[in-house]
Amino acid sequence: MFKFRAPAKLTRVLQIASMLALAPLACAEPDLNGLWFPGGGPGQSPKEHPFTPQAKRWSDEYLAKFKVEDDPGGWCVSPGLPRSIWGAPFPVEIVQTKDFINMFWEGYFQYRKIYMEGRPRPEPILNTRMGYSVGHWEGDVLVVETTHLREYPYMRRLPNTENALITERYTVENRKDSKGVSTRYLTNQMTLTDPLLYTQPITVTSSLRWSPTTPIMEYSCSEEIYDKYLQDRGLQLPDFSQGQ
């Protein structure tokens, strides 16, 4: 019996077409470039912190001595991550390339670079307010892990030690208002893991809305102002190194 045998090139084409037909459709990476403005969310910290016993003692001692006006935000101390995810009502500018994503906050003039996995990047050197961030795409979701954070011992807010790990998942969606006008939103689900301070990870979700006409304006501050204020009041911040 005669059997038809397709040419090798045709067989290969048919194989590729079959594979493409069965493969799931790839999600395009969203364009994050441009100006964004805080778009609401449940806030920067949970109502109750799941403190470890040691952290609870630090918190109780802090709250017994420090007033609300003693918190650093009003004294030009940059909050850094995780508190600055969207921060106060200031715009954020994002610059996205295949190698990295830059984020620049008007508030405190904070700058953050997210290095994309698989691309050239420097090794981390120092712990900083924004830490060392590496991201990758899972379909249309940007996943970022941040380490090498500078400790933040102000217990009234959302403190962290230098061993903290932050994991974020960014998604973009279009939302319609009551008039049917559609606006792009960038939502971030952030999880803070810090076993010295918390008995379980803390997750905060908030968002930015696309706001291309909101410019970045000048913001000027100095950390020395707050350091001097604490010294004048005889206040001493918790020393996290004593809990290691």
Q: Is 19 a domain residue?
A: no
Predicted confidence at residue 88, as pLDDT, reads: 73
- Which SS3 state, helix, strand or coil, does residue 166 take? strand
Q: Is 85 a domain residue?
A: yes
The CA distance from 86 to 75, in Å, is 19
Q: For residue 102, give the amino acid letter.
A: N
Of the CA atoms within 13 Å of residue 191, those in its CB half-sphere come to 9
- The DSSP symbol for 122 reads P
Q: Is 191 a domain residue?
A: yes
Q: Is 16 a domain residue?
A: no
Predicted confidence at residue 23, as pLDDT, reads: 46
User: Who has greater pLDDT, 88 or 57?
Assistant: 57
Kindly state the greatest CA–CA separation across the chain.
101
The CA distance from 30 to 188, in Å, is 14
The CA distance from 102 to 84, in Å, is 14
The CA distance from 106 to 88, in Å, is 10
Predicted confidence at residue 221, as pLDDT, reads: 77
Chain segment 113-165, per-residue pLDDT in tens: 999 999 999 999 999 999 999 999 999 999 999 999 999 999 988 999 999 99
Q: Is 71 a domain residue?
A: yes
Predicted confidence at residue 210, as pLDDT, reads: 94
pTM exceeding 0.75: yes
**Total count of domains within the chain:** 1
Predicted confidence at residue 20, as pLDDT, reads: 47
Chain segment 163-185, per-residue pLDDT in tens: 999 999 999 999 888 888 899 99
Q: Is 26 a domain residue?
A: no
The CA distance from 81 to 44, in Å, is 10
130-158 core/surface letters (b: 16 or more CB in 10 A; e: else): bbbbbbeeeeeebebbbebbbbbbbbebb
Q: For residue 172, give the amino acid letter.
A: V
Q: Is 156 a domain residue?
A: yes
Q: Is 7 a domain residue?
A: no
- Rounded to the nearest integer, the mean pLDDT of the chain is 87
- Which SS3 state, helix, strand or coil, does residue 171 take? strand
Residue 133 structural domain: 34-237
User: Who has greater pLDDT, 73 or 85?
Assistant: 73
Helix H or strand E encompassing 50: none
The CA distance from 181 to 107, in Å, is 28
